[in-house]
Amino acid sequence: MTFGEKQVAITGIGQSEIARPSSRSALLLTIDAILAAIEDAGLTPADIDGLTTWPGRMDSDPGFGPVGTTDIKEALGLKLNYFAGGKEAPAQFGAAINAIGAIAAGLARHVVVFRTVYEATTRKQTGAGTAFGTARVPDARFQWQLPMGAMSASNWTALYAQRHFHDYGTTREQMAQIPLNCRRNAALNPKAIYRTPLTLDDYMGARMISTPLCLYDCDVPVDGATAIIFSRADAAGDLRHAPIRLEAVGSALHGRDSWDQRADLTSMAAFDAAKMMWSRTDMKPSDIDTAQLYDGFTILTMLWLEALGFCGKGESGAFIEEGTRIALAGELPLNTSGGQLSEGRVHGYGYLHEACLQLRGTAGARQIAKPVNTAVVGTGGGPLASCMLLRND
Amino acid sequence: MLANNAPLPVLTPETEAFWTGGCEGKLMIMRCAQCMRRHHPPSPVCPHCYSERVAPEAVSGRAKIASFTVNHQKWLPDMKVPFVIAIVELDEQPDIRITTNIVNAPPETIHIGQSVQVLFEQHEDVWLPLFQPEKGA
């Protein structure tokens, strides 16, 4: 059987500045990213007939969801045959999977997928460490955490980390390798927010946010937007860059849709999504040249490594120990732009943008030395997860 | 005890028993009269057998800590830190979990597997189910 994603290719990528904060509005940052992606593809706005985003415009949380499809459709005068934005989807790549589905169904030909965050500006305006206020919680999901003062995903994911430490003997020294690796890579990325060296001593001495997660285990809120163009594979051949093919996607949620009810607290929806992705390809983890995996909080990256089968369940601590395996020159270069921990929390699509640069061989000083023909990208934590396997041949 | 000023839940027909059971000192968890299994969060149909014969029923309030974290960050200006956030598993049915706070115990004594007992803290019309170590645990 030929799965729908094999009829789809990535033809253009674009990203705004990443700033903390930006002097440009969220809408302008989004337009910057989208026009850059259209230009990068060698298309014009008139060629764009599809538009998707995650989580869509959220007026209740304008840092997290500042711009929706309507804003862009109107700003750019797009003529759309398909559009969708909304947070009830398998994490950030839910919007990409919507685009893939639309293209495979013949509803659209060139779909812009975008994600905008404006969390640096909104946090500065409110002065709060959380987007949640003190008003009553109507949300069916968050009402089980927020009243207990668990007001950040750092708390929810710290609970997974503590259990991982308990069950598998994982240590802070091991976990530190995720942010240390990110910071080394960020030093080679001119757009990264934090580029100064970070040492293990810095990490071990950092203030705790929610044990065992310290400051450096938590990503950096920024303002920025990323846009990726998904096209019909048969419309991708004559464009500016060689297309990047979609080998397989994973969008599954089989376990509970909950931060605390999943049967195994050290397995997340990522395990469902990864299993689905591998079921749609003959490729194996050993075929992958680089991994760009969600690092909103370090434990999530470790669980993604396990979910995708790069190591066994519970073995991610040993897998990343010393940091050599995941380094730029290692066997599985990880989060080569610096990730959300150092480049900034552009939220999901930064990994996809970086994977495309690496697959094109245009990542500049941080380009992986060995040939990069395959990449896995995974986003989300807890009940949210989606992943994609990309190839350039 | 806590004074973290965290946001309270909106009470709905489905969730009201859980959030107000503490008024009578009871931890109320949905149970199916058809297959006898409990579920949480509350739903109007049993997720195991789809029966609508579900109703809140008091449990013992005894549980074990499945995981915990000591929160040091002031998410709100008046939040008193540090405090312990935990996921506990009910003794009656361990796949029923509650995210809660562990109180009346120094954070450094908290551990996974520890036996805890519910107590309630009233805020307006909500009785938050918190937990404290059982004696000797």
**Among A6-20, A35-49, A132-146, which stretch is predicted with the lowest mean pLDDT?**
A132-146
pTM above 0.80, yes or no: yes
All domains of chain B in start order, with CATH: 16-133 (2.40.50.840)
Q: Which residues on chain A are in Cβ contact (under 8 Å) with B68? A: 159, 162
Question: Is A196 found in the same domain as A343?
Answer: yes
A53 forms bridges with which residues in the sheet? A85, A114
The answer as to whether A132 is a domain residue is: no
Q: Tell me, what's the pLDDT at B1?
A: 42
Closest in B75, B86, B95 to A130, CB measured: B75
**A370: pLDDT strictly greater than 80:** yes
Question: Is A49 found in the same domain as A8?
Answer: yes
Name the residue among A179, A383, A376, A184 with its Cα closest to residue A289: A376
* A159 at B interface, C-beta within 8 A: yes
Split at pLDDT 50, 70, 90, the class of B3 is: low
Split at pLDDT 50, 70, 90, the class of A133 is: confident
Quote the domain boundaries for residue A85.
Answer: 4-125+222-244
Q: Identity (one letter) of the amino acid at A53?
A: T
Q: What is the CA radius of gyration of chain B?
A: 15
Residues 90-129 in A contacting B (C-alpha not used; CB under 8 Å): 128-129
Asked if B6 and A149 come within 8 Å (Cβ–Cβ), the reply is yes
pLDDT digits (tens, 9 = 90+) for A53-106: 999 999 989 999 999 999 999 999 999 999 999 999 999 999 999 999 999 999
Q: Tell me, what's the pLDDT at A149?
A: 94
* B95 at A interface, C-beta within 8 A: yes
- Indicate the residue among A183, A209, A244 that finishes a domain: A244
Name the residue among A23, A373, A4, A330 with its Cα closest to residue A181: A330
Tokens 């995941």 appear where?
A326
Q: Which two tokens stand for residue A147?
A: 């009243």
Query: Alpha-carbon distance A36 to A23, whole Å?
Result: 19
Q: Tell me, what's the pLDDT at B137?
A: 63
pLDDT digits (tens, 9 = 90+) for A199-253: 999 999 999 999 999 999 999 999 999 999 999 999 998 899 999 999 999 999 9
Higher pLDDT residue, B131 or A124? Answer: B131
Question: Is A99 found in the same domain as A81?
Answer: yes
